[in-house]
Structure 1
Amino acid sequence: MNSKAKIKWRKSERFERMKKFELAFPPKKIFPLLCPVLEYEWLPGWKCVMCYSESGVAEKNAIFHTRENLGLRVVWTLITYEPDRFVEYIMVSGKDAVVRLSVSLEENKSGNTQVTWRMLFTLTSGISRHAIPRAFSPGNYERFVEQKQRELDRYLRTGKMMGK
């Protein structure tokens, strides 16, 4: 049986972005904030609908959804959950894109945390092939992650969200 003859392929485009930054806090203070429920505490404008979580917060296989640009529904699944070290989400945006968000935390000798914020984009439709690379150009991605750094730092230092 020649199964290859029956499979339809539509080549998708893929690109990756990554940025590192340091926060003056240990991973055990940062990691819990990488949770869709706790993001309401530090991330301005954050909104999600939890679909599945046995604990009520971030855990392996937790699922939630958000509304992104143009009201598009994005379904997030937490696929890797290593407390105080690593969290990884898969985001599916309809038939347009699949994004893997990986955030790793590594404590350095001074007790600060080196954060690596990585996103792997797979673009599966014509619309996404134009809009997403522009929205997440290298410069835009750098500014996007720098904003996350400022928001996390502000919350960790003051217990308050930026703008409040």
Structure 2
Amino acid sequence: MSAFKGDHITVQYEMHLDFPAEKIWPQLCPIREYDWIEDWECEMLHSESGFNERGCVFRTNVHTEGGPDIWLTCRFDPMEQIEFVRTNAWRIAHYIIELEPAQNGTRLIWTQHVTALNEEGNEYVKQWPDAFKATIIRLEKMLAHFLATGTMLRGDDKD
């Protein structure tokens, strides 16, 4: 048994979209993310419906995050909350997205509890708060654009 201790961090970001949860919810799906995330790639490994659902399993491969990742949708409460467990060689994450009615739209609370699995994971955990915030801000911009126009925000328009 090794003496390794994985660092742990919780990060959270709140997003506000001027749309009801009914318009947002369907987009929180690994298949539908192809419609609004330009660089999105995943491999669906298991889904009864072909879309996101409780028990859905899919794979992504983001090299800068220690990929490939295996994702499991472990909670699926439509229009309210979705949770994933996401793991790869560096870390394991419990990823939660909560949707709440807000003035003129919906508030989304994005939370990740991340635990390192090795020294590379410890380095990842140290830089994750800034990277997470930048990722969520980028996703907010892309999702808002898609919901308003029905088209994907491409290229330099995201920055």
CA distance in structure 2 between the aligned counterparts of 1:53 and 1:62, rounded to whole angstroms: 5
Residue equivalent to 1:160 = 151
Q: Distance in 1 between matches of 2:122 and 2:113?
A: 14
Show structure 1 runs of 4+ deviating over 6 A: none
Aligned equivalent of 2:121: 128
Identify the residue that residue 146 of structure 1 maps to in structure 2.
137
Displacement after TM superposition at 1:11 (Å): 2.8
CA, structure 1 residues 163+88, in 2 after alignment: closer, same or farther (shift >3 Å)? same
d(CA) in 1 for partners of 2:124, 2:3 = 22
User: What's the counterpart of residue 40 of structure 1?
Assistant: 34
Distance of 1:140 and 1:66 partners within structure 2: 17
Counterpart for residue 118 of structure 1? 111
2:88 maps to what in 1?
93
Structure 1, gaps ≥5 residues long: 1-6
- Counterparts of 1:41 and 1:9 in 2: how far apart (Å)? 45
How far apart are residue 163 of structure 1 and its match?
1.1
Scaled by the length of structure 1, the TM-score of the pair is 0.87
Q: In structure 2, do the counterparts of structure 1 residues 143 and 72 end up closer, same or farther at CA, with 3 Å as the change threshold?
A: closer
Separation in structure 2 between the aligned mates of residue 58 and residue 133 of structure 1, nearest angstrom = 30
Q: 1:140 to 1:68 in 2, by over 3 A?
A: closer
For 2:74 and 2:145, the matched residues in 1 are separated by: 28
Report the Cα offset of residue 133 of structure 1.
Answer: 2.1
TM-score w.r.t. length of structure 2: 0.90
- Work out the number of aligned pairs and report it: 154
Distance 2:114 2:29 in 1: 21
* CA RMSD between the two structures: 1.8
**Structure 1 segment 21-32 matched on structure 2, within 5 A:** 21-32=15-26
Q: Which has the larger radius of gyration?
A: 1
Name the residue aligned to 1:75.
Answer: 70
Amino acid at match of 2:151: K
Aligned residue number for residue 12 of structure 1: 6
CA contact (8 A) 2:96 2:110 kept: yes
Separation in 2 of the partners of 1:131 and 1:11? 14
